[in-house]
Amino acid sequence: EADIYQTPRYLVIGTGKKITLECSQTMGHDKMYWYQQDPGMELHLIHYSYGVNSTEKGDLSSESTVSRIRTEHFPLTLESARPSHTSQYLCASSGTGEVQPQHFGDGTRLSIL
Amino acid sequence: GQNIDQPTEMTATEGAIVQINCTYQTSGFNGLFWYQQHAGEAPTFLSYNVLDGLEEKGRFSSFLSRSKGYSYLLLKELQMKDSASYLCAGLDSNYQLIWGAGTKLIIKP
């Protein structure tokens, strides 16, 4: 049973649109992450948060923004979608402590036409 | 720079044993994770090593050598459901995960 939820599961949308990918977790985890993953490739960290009102950019900000107003919610927004944003986006969370495994949502497969 | 290397693809037979290797270079080191990812699904945590040696969890074991910058995941009594990608990830000095591209394991009957 999933404790971290991502919506939508799939999205096909045109260039230039503003998109928000939703991620929520019910585990009370302080740390949350957004990754981008292309088929057969490694995960790239886009943004992360260590708690409410805390957000940091990863190696691949990809012209996106995040917010962390509530512990359980960590949405990712693309202000103006481009075909290069086509990818899978994975949200993850981890508990208190510096070494905790990350738990992943099922991902959003995004296609920009 | 930071880097994780693992083979792109491996094939093994049902019931056999397979070892998936991973070498890492990270800025500082706070341990190494292995995750399993079935096609189209999210990665799931398998194991974590920070000290040298072998950690066993049922059919899966993970080994670490810090001096060699090397780890492996050992899967015994392979089952068809073990067909998946296996991701190696090193935890650097900032406690950020550096991910490998994954090893796609194909199990044949």
Please state, in angstroms and rounded to a whole number, the distance separating the CA atoms of residues A1 and B20.
Answer: 28
Listing DSSP states for A57-111 in one string gives E-S--TTEEE--SBTTB--EEESS--GGG-EEEEEEEE-SSSS---EE---EEEE
Q: With bands split at pLDDT 50, 70 and 90, how would you rate the model's confidence at B45?
A: very high
Among residues A47, A51, A10, which one has the least CA distance to residue A29?
A: A51
Which range is least confidently modeled, A56-60, B56-60, B77-81?
A: A56-60
Cβ of residue B94 closer than 8 Å to a chain A Cβ: no
Cα(first)–Cα(last) distance of chain A, in Å? Answer: 33
Residues in chain B within 8 Å Cβ distance of A104: 42-44
Q: Which residues of chain A have pLDDT under 70?
A: 1-2, 62
Percent of chain B with pLDDT over 90: 85
User: What pLDDT sits at residue A98?
Assistant: 75
Please state, in angstroms and rounded to a whole number, the distance separating the CA atoms of residues A89 and A97.
Answer: 25
Residue corresponding to tokens 């290397």: B5
Q: Which of A41, A90, A101 sits opposite B48 (nearest CB)?
A: A101
User: What pLDDT sits at residue A96?
Assistant: 82
Please state, in angstroms and rounded to a whole number, the distance separating the CA atoms of residues B76 and A85.
Answer: 39
Average pLDDT, chain B: 95
For residue A38, the one-letter residue type is D
**Cα of B46 to nearest chain A Cα, Å:** 9
Averaged pLDDT for residues B45-66: 96
Residue B39 has pLDDT above 70, yes or no: yes
For the record, the structure tokens of A91 come out as 């949200």
Among residues B53, B51, B38, B28, which one has the least CA distance to residue B87?
A: B38
User: What pLDDT sits at residue A74?
Assistant: 98
**Cα of B96 to nearest chain A Cα, Å:** 9
Among residues B69, B67, B68, B59, which one has the least CA distance to residue B19?
A: B59
Residues in chain A within 8 Å Cβ distance of B104: 40
Averaged pLDDT for residues B37-51: 93
How far, in Å, are A23, A30, A57, B6 from residue A54 at the CA level? Answer: 16, 10, 11, 33
> How many CA atoms within 13 Å lie on the side-chain side of B65?
8
Please state, in angstroms and rounded to a whole number, the distance separating the CA atoms of residues B37 and B80.
Answer: 14
